Structure 1
Amino acid sequence: MKAAILQMTSGIDPLANARTLADGVAQAAAGGATMLFTPEMSGLVDRDRERAAGNIMTETDDRVLAAVREAAAKHGIWVHLGSLALRGETDDRFVNRGFVIDGNGAIRARYDKLHLFDVDLPTGERWRESDAYAPGTGAVVVATPLGTLGLAICYDLRFPDLFRALTDAGATLLSVPAAFTRPTGAAHWHVLLRARAIEAGVHLIAAAQAGEHEDGRATYGHSLAVDPWGEVLLDMGEGAGLGVTEIDPARVVEVRSRVPAIAHRRAIPAVEVVR
């Protein structure tokens, strides 16, 4: 089965991003893909929070979500819409929410990013996601034509306990849509994604933002598809565009039979601290 990845350079206009997404859905379906994966913040990348706030809607009113659902139904393809910035239901802050949409345009699963990125980088960049976004409250797996999909978003990648929970719940495929900065991407992107795939013997797809954005930020790109042995099946480099890779569910069974790490997992007892 084929999985498509849409690598984007999302800007400050949600309607322009919606058109890019709808075009990507059409191209992926025309190329024979069963499912399309898109990056974190597919609908809006804007570090000017006052300006961005005017473009952030509720889930019910979001035009990007509506456009992707319509395109998925029109072309009969599943879509993991990596994430959108949306107004939250229970908090004054926004949520960073991903969606799995089926070939009829129905929402099969939602996931709100659990881990928020608050940091001051040596480059002078300062990120405070928790100022504007509320964290999610739970992990999510969902049945798809490509297998049982475990959902994560960007900074979640650094927390292996989440991925253990997803694979303990039956995930055979992981998705990590992202908007990695260039310094952290160059240092850690490939090695962490390959590690998450190897640990559990799963396919992993990571659709990424790439390039110079309208709001002045720069993202790393290099959307990846990784197989259960840690082999990189697709690396999309630094430019926006669509890539396609093969996903073979039998590969998961094969690799897990060679290294049955999931079967050997044990609950970790209390740690003895010796001083």
Structure 2
Amino acid sequence: MKIAAIQMCSGLDPDANLAALEPLLAEAATRGARYALTPEVTVIFPENREQLKSVAAPFEGHPHLAKVGDLARQHAMFVHIGSLPIPLEDGRFANRSVLFGPDGTQQAVYDKIHLFDADIAGLNAYRESATYKGGEQAVTAPVEDFTLGFSICYDMRFPRLYNALANGGANLIAVPAAFTVPTGQAHWHVLLRARAIETGSYVIAAAQGGHHPNGRATYGHSVIIDPWGKVIAELDHDRPGVLLADIDPAAVTEARGRVPALANAREFAPPGLHS
């Protein structure tokens, strides 16, 4: 199966972001992709919470998701929107990933589980949980001969999620992201390769890249990694573009046979006090 990672530079206007996405999806389809992944915050990359509140729409009947469903149907292709904000009853938002099938219907949704809450020396405290509510359920879905595992950006720092996805049948794992430039330069490739190696799965990571209207700068460098941890395709820049690679379930079987880490894993007690 041929898969595509769509790299974008999303801004503050959902209609403009979808207009930018359309030709990229068309290119992926023309070049033979059966599945295309877009980055985190594809539909809106907000400047602040108030700006987010002014444009976020309820999930049911969401106008921009309806448009994406039409595009999936038009191209007869799985289209995976990396994420968009969905308002919740408590005033926060879900950072939600949505998979559409080739018939344009929604196949699966995933809410980002891990949220970045940190006190960083020399900087103000950052509380993603003040704006977003973390999800509670790992998600997989069939995509032709593969089982797709869902994750979003910061999730990639938590191996336990990827282990659960692989043990739940996933052999292709999606990582839509909006990595900053400093963390991208330091951690992007090593984290993604580690997630592929430890699960014996393909990893596809679609990134935001460039300087955004909200003042952020993101790293780009969308990649596709094979189950042995080899980068088989990469956009070596931060500009919008389409990245494609052919993937084969047999490579997953081979990698997991050579290093059966999933099968060899054991439960164990945490460290405790010793007298």
Q: What is the TM-score of this pair, normalised by structure 2?
A: 0.95
- Alignment CA distance shift 1:11-1:126 (3 Å): farther
Q: Is the 8 A contact 1:15 1:63 kept in 2?
A: no
Deviation at 1:121, TM superposition (A): 4.4
Identity in percent: 46
Distance 1:274 1:144 in 2: 49
Distance 2:259 2:47 in 1: 43
Whichever residue aligns with residue 158 of structure 2, its letter is F
- Alignment CA distance shift 1:126-1:213 (3 Å): farther
1:24-63 C-alpha deviation (Å, 9 max, x unpaired):
2221111100100100010011222212211101112433
Aligned to 2:205: 206
Deviation at 1:83, TM superposition (A): 0.6
Superposition RMSD on alpha carbons, in Å?
1.5
Q: Secondary structure at the match of 2:32?
A: coil
Q: Secondary structure at the match of 1:205?
A: strand
Deviation at 1:100, TM superposition (A): 1.1
1:55-88 C-alpha deviation (Å, 9 max, x unpaired):
1011124332111111000110001111111112
- Alignment CA distance shift 1:232-1:52 (3 Å): same
Distance 2:187 2:239 in 1: 19
Deviation at 1:238, TM superposition (A): 1.6
Structure 1 portions without partners, runs of 5+: none
Q: Is the 8 A contact 1:72 1:79 kept in 2?
A: yes
Distance 2:244 2:123 in 1: 36
Q: Secondary structure at the match of 2:66?
A: helix
The 10-residue stretch of structure 1 (264-273 or 116-125) with the greater mean CA deviation from structure 2: 116-125
Q: Is the 8 A contact 2:223 2:243 kept in 1?
A: no
Aligned to 1:46: 46
Aligned to 2:241: 241
Whichever residue aligns with residue 131 of structure 1, its letter is A
Aligned to 2:93: 94
Distance 1:125 1:211 in 2: 24
Aligned to 1:32: 32
Structure 2 portions without partners, runs of 5+: none
Distance 1:248 1:132 in 2: 39
Instruction: List aligned pairs for 1:58-137, cutoff 5 A.
Output: 58-88=58-88, 90-121=89-120, 124=123, 127-137=126-136
The 10-residue stretch of structure 1 (18-27 or 218-227) with the greater mean CA deviation from structure 2: 18-27
1:169-192 C-alpha deviation (Å, 9 max, x unpaired):
111111111111111111111101
Q: Secondary structure at the match of 1:262?
A: helix
Q: Is the 8 A contact 1:146 1:247 kept in 2?
A: no
Deviation at 1:268, TM superposition (A): 2.0
Distance 1:22 1:40 in 2: 16
Q: Is the 8 A contact 1:22 1:67 kept in 2?
A: no
In the comparison of the two structures, how many residue pairs are matched?
274
Aligned to 1:149: 148
Aligned to 2:10: 10
Q: What is the TM-score of this pair, normalised by structure 1?
A: 0.95
Distance 2:5 2:124 in 1: 28
Q: Is the 8 A contact 1:179 1:209 kept in 2?
A: yes
